A and B are shown apart, each in its own frame.
Chain A
Amino acid sequence: MHIMEGFLPAKHCIAWGIASAPFVAYGLRTVTKRVREYPEQRMLIGVAAAFTFVLSALKMPSVTGSCSHPTGTGLGAILFGPAAMAPIGAVVLLFQAILLAHGGLTTLGANIFSMAIVGPFAAAAIYRLVRAARLPFGVAVFLAATLGDLLTYVTTSVQLALAFPDPVGGFWASFTKFATVFAVTQVPLAISEGFLTVIVCNALARLNPRELQEMRVATGSEQEVQA
């Protein structure tokens, strides 16, 4: 759910940019630290960004007939960790703005906040919680991907409602409006993406790749993929 170029007022653009910057900086620091420990992962984040970009351009089979694309936030958070997703998402969103005219440069901060920060952190937290509750791996992946997507879209609705409170009903009326209008496309998308992510993770577990074991990626969550 990208907010388009010029849609948010200037003050909101700046505020969301300031809110996103520390997360991106923290993510970059985490990544740099990890590379110092495992130099062979030096190229990983850049390649992962390209992967996320291509993933978001794939067409998902849709039941409703509308054209939908996965966001990759859930899968990315499980594979690369939520902290690394902030810089990855920032670059992917910038590329989407320039190469596909999805989203925009002035709304980059707001889009990073909803899609590269809230989504991945929520997905990772939900994944951990569900695994801690000893529920099956598939359920954890499904809930992480689906709820991560849903929270992303709720965040976008909040951003729009904060920028444009309803002249009569205020923030909540505006939030209800935006959330309802975008639910038509976003709720089926979140559910399809949940299913897709489960299938992907199961396939990864079945392939049981040597590379993933050798490189000990994403510390911990990856062992679960193979388990």
Chain B
Amino acid sequence: MLIEQSAYSNRWRQVSPAAKGLFALCGMVAVFIAKTPGIACGIALLLCLTTLVGAGVPSVRYLRVAAPALLFLAMSGATLAASLQSGPVSGMTVQLVPAGLARAAQVCGRSLGGLTALLFLALTTPLTDLIALLRRLKMPEALLDIMVLCYRMLFVFAESAHAIRVAQTARLGYGSISRSFRSLGALVAAITLQVWQRSLALHQAALARNNDGPFRFLEPSFPAAGRQLAVACSAGAGLIALAVVLP
């Protein structure tokens, strides 16, 4: 997972997650209140540059991470710009109308801005920090428990899926379409069983350690959090001001 690698290795790893979250939130707000697509794109560029230059995320990785979302944007943007019309003679026709084009531009600008704000947060902050932040924001404990478990188990499952896949491929399990389906089915069934086996094992391990409540971990401390929050707050306010002031 490319995003994970950056989240743990970027230059702003030790910056308080509250500050990074606040800045991303301000970016989102700014993009949503931007009046023209141009301003939204400008804010997107600023957010993108902050991630690349400030946090030191490699630009190739940034593009690879953003590619699937950009593909969705291209498809839906084109759909928005085109307009279907049913004429009495010609049946359904596809047309480009100015109103559709303007709206497509507006949505594309907003989506680009939203994507860069999301990527800023995702590429600079590990999920464990985000979960700790959500805990401080009083998210329901039951959901937090699911998130903690999900994050810890997902690498276990990914590894076991990978191992099974390698073994199957070595035996030509993915040689043809029908074989691929059968192999993938067997793979998923094997992992499905592990869901129960592993959850039971985890439960017994937790009981053996006298745990029957929520999972608690030591939260990382961020000594400069106050100063960082102030910086993030003023930078975020700057973004919002840009969106409000520019015509």
Q: Which of A51, A105, A195 contacts B191 (CB 8 A)?
A: A51
Contact string, B64-98, partner A, CB cutoff 8 A, digits 1/0? 01101100110110111011111000000001010
Min C-beta distance of B194 to chain A, whole Å: 8
Which stretch (A121-129, A132-140, A146-154, A161-169) binds chain B? A161-169
The answer to whether B68 and A204 touch across the interface, beta carbons within 8 angstroms, is no
The answer to whether A95 and B161 touch across the interface, beta carbons within 8 angstroms, is no
Q: Judge whether B59 is part of the interface by a CB distance below 8 angstroms.
A: no
The answer to whether A43 and B73 touch across the interface, beta carbons within 8 angstroms, is no
Contact string, B130-156, partner A, CB cutoff 8 A, digits 1/0? 100000000010110111111111101
Q: Judge whether B3 is part of the interface by a CB distance below 8 angstroms.
A: yes
The answer to whether A203 and B189 touch across the interface, beta carbons within 8 angstroms, is yes
Give Cα distance in the complex from A148 to B199, angstroms: 27
Min C-beta distance of B72 to chain A, whole Å: 5
The answer to whether A50 and B149 touch across the interface, beta carbons within 8 angstroms, is yes
Q: Which of A32, A45, A105, A203 contacts B186 (CB 8 A)?
A: A203
Known A6-B114, A204-B193: A100·B3 in contact at CB below 8 Å: yes
The number of chain A residues touching the other chain, given as a range, is: 35 or more
- How many A-B contacts if CB must be within 8 Å? 245
Known A28-B143, A46-B145, A203-B189: A217·B28 in contact at CB below 8 Å: no
Interface size (B, Cβ < 8 Å)?
83
Known A10-B32, A101-B118: A31·B196 in contact at CB below 8 Å: no
Q: Which residue of chain A lies nearest to B134 when distances are taken between CB atoms in the complex?
A: A94
The answer to whether A169 and B85 touch across the interface, beta carbons within 8 angstroms, is yes
Q: Judge whether B111 is part of the interface by a CB distance below 8 angstroms.
A: yes
The answer to whether A6 and B191 touch across the interface, beta carbons within 8 angstroms, is no
The answer to whether B84 and A173 touch across the interface, beta carbons within 8 angstroms, is yes
Known A4-B73, A7-B107, A88-B146: A95·B151 in contact at CB below 8 Å: yes
> What secondary structure prevails in chain B residues at the interface with A?
helix
Known A47-B153, A53-B150, A195-B181: A169·B186 in contact at CB below 8 Å: no
The answer to whether B72 and A63 touch across the interface, beta carbons within 8 angstroms, is no
Set of chain A residues within 8 Å of B97, measured between Cβ atoms: 167-168
Give Cα distance in the complex from A104 to B116, angstroms: 11
Q: Which residue of chain B lies nearest to A174 when distances are taken between CB atoms in the complex?
A: B84
Known A173-B83, A177-B79: A47·B198 in contact at CB below 8 Å: yes
Known A43-B202, A100-B1: A211·B193 in contact at CB below 8 Å: yes
The answer to whether A75 and B188 touch across the interface, beta carbons within 8 angstroms, is yes
Q: Judge whether B177 is part of the interface by a CB distance below 8 angstroms.
A: yes
**Which residues of B, 1-38, contact A by the 8 Å Cβ criterion?**
1, 3-4, 28, 31-32
Contact string, A208-227, partner B, CB cutoff 8 A, digits 1/0? 01011001010000000000
Q: Judge whether B227 is part of the interface by a CB distance below 8 angstroms.
A: no
List 5 A-B residue pairs with CB atoms under 8 Å apart, sorted by A's residue number: A104-B118, A106-B32, A181-B76, A196-B181, A203-B188
Task: Give me the 6 closest cross-chain CB pairs, A-B, nearest first.
Answer: A6-B114, A46-B149, A199-B185, A61-B180, A50-B153, A203-B189
Given contacts A43-B198, A101-B66, 9 further A-B pairs with CB under 8 A are A5-B115, A32-B142, A39-B212, A43-B199, A46-B149, A54-B154, A60-B184, A95-B147, A177-B82
Q: Point out residues on B near A: beta carbons under 8 Å.
A: 1, 3-4, 28, 31-32, 65-66, 68-69, 72-73, 75-76, 78-80, 82-86, 95, 97, 99-100, 103, 107, 110-115, 117-119, 121-122, 127, 130, 140, 142-143, 145-154, 156-158, 161, 174, 177, 180-182, 184-189, 191-200, 202-203, 206, 212
